[in-house]
Amino acid sequence: MTTNFSAVPILDYSQLVSPETRPEFISQLLNALTNVGFFYLSNTPVLNSDITDKIIDYAPKFFDLPEEEKERIRMVHSPHFFGYSRFGAELTKGKVDQREQFDIGTPREERGWKPGDPEFLRLWGPSQWPKEELLPGFKDTFTSYVQQTQKLGEEILAVVAEALHLPPGAFSPFIEEGGNQDRAKIVKYPVPEDETSDQGVGPHYDGGLLTLLVQASPHRGLQVQNLSGEWIDAPPISRTYIVNIGKALETVTQKVCIATSHRVLSPAKGSTPRYSIPFFQMISQRTTIGKSVLDLPPEILQLKEKRGNVGSSDSVNYAEYNELPAGQVALIGRVKSHPDVAERHYPELFKQYFPDGLPSHGSAY
């Protein structure tokens, strides 16, 4: 028997506060983790505050900055893969994604990388920001937003642990002292000019623990693949996050929690651009994910059998989970998605993954 889904469940975070409603939340969470891999989360302290309106309001304004300013803070200038990516600069499984984006991170110091150290330590470092006078308050708002979302993400992990009958600190080893450098981005999906592709972003899994996404405009477009391979719409719901499970959480929970493939269709002709703001909770860089699997009690492991087989949609980097530290897996993922940044800052890896040079549709500079 498979337990399939035809809609993404909506969970109410405020139910955790009262002992009367907490068990209901935990039981819905367990269902979402094990059978869907996605859930909406309403009534979080972050999105119930006025920061939601601010980030939604800033999203289009960022992309309306003068071209020279966006060029000045292009990702290609950052060995940390932070900054602006032009339309068409990113690939998912070798195919161009029709989106523009701006990547930032939770504020963390550089890790003092020096030649001979693992290269992935270079992923940590400062974000690039537009000049304050061009977008007043933008840097402070998004810095605060990513810090608040990071804290919420860590709180959710403790509840995930409770739902899986694990001690509350079960996921603590995956968070570095002082916090991971988590990543977020602001994404614009324009209406495609050429109608041959509607790939906003192609089908993929997220790599980390949890992703917390804000849909920042009223468009449909995000779709989630259910266990029989159908694409289920996940339309925007005001003041909710869409939370989904990444491959790292799937792996450390022995696939009890499922990472679910998802994609974004470009806005239809005659529509307007779609905006979204995903936040990616990373796993500690030095963890070798495949060797850090948690011990789960039998009543939780059994849930996998009830669910049946998880569709094995083609995975990207996840074969490397058993061998390499998570930081290296993340770096390889960045290299494959942003070859122009890799060519400049990680020439050896670039040669390994792009032996024929920059793909013609990658961003040239």
Of 201 and 326, the one with the shorter C-beta distance to ligand AKG is: 201
Of 156 and 161, the one with the shorter C-beta distance to Fe ion is: 156
For the window 180-199, what string marks contact with ligand AKG as x by the rule CB under 6 A? -------x------------
Residue 222 interacts with, from ligand AKG, Fe ion, none (CB under 5-8 Å by kind): ligand AKG
Of 203 and 308, the one with the shorter C-beta distance to ligand AKG is: 203
For residue 243, what is the enclosing H or E element?
Answer: strand 241-245
Here the tokens at position 154 are 């860590």
DSSP three-state, residue 53 = helix
Of 301 and 316, the one with the shorter C-beta distance to ligand AKG is: 316
Question: The sheet that has 241-245: what strands, in order across it?
Answer: 10-12, 38-42, 241-245, 210-215, 274-280, 183-189, 100-105, 83-85
Residue 218 CB neighbours (<10 A): 11
| 233 vs 222: CA distance, rounded Å | 6
Residue 180 interacts with, from Fe ion, ligand AKG, none (CB under 5-8 Å by kind): none
- Are 8 and 237 a contacting pair, CB within 8 Å? no
Q: With 0-12 CB in 10 A as exposed, 13-18 as middle and 19+ as buried, what is 248?
A: buried
- Residue 108 CB-half CA count within 13 A: 23
For the window 220-249, what string marks contact with ligand AKG as x by the rule CB under 6 A? --x---------------------------
- Closest CB to ligand AKG belongs to which residue? 276
**How many Å is the maximal CA-CA distance in the chain?**
61
Residue 264 interacts with, from ligand AKG, Fe ion, none (CB under 5-8 Å by kind): ligand AKG
Q: Is 100 in the site for Fe ion (CB under 5 A)?
A: no
DSSP three-state, residue 193 = coil
Q: With 0-12 CB in 10 A as exposed, 13-18 as middle and 19+ as buried, what is 116?
A: exposed
Of 80 and 111, the one with the shorter C-beta distance to ligand AKG is: 80
Among 90, 103, 162, 206, binds Fe ion (CB under 5 A): 206
Of 181 and 276, the one with the shorter C-beta distance to ligand AKG is: 276
For the window 125-164, what string marks contact with Fe ion as x by the rule CB under 5 A? ----------------------------------------
Q: Is 264 in the site for ligand AKG (CB under 6 A)?
A: yes
Q: Is 262 in the site for ligand AKG (CB under 6 A)?
A: yes
The binding site for Fe ion (CB under 5 A) comprises 206
The binding site for ligand AKG (CB under 6 A) comprises 187, 201, 206, 213, 215, 222, 262, 264, 276, 278
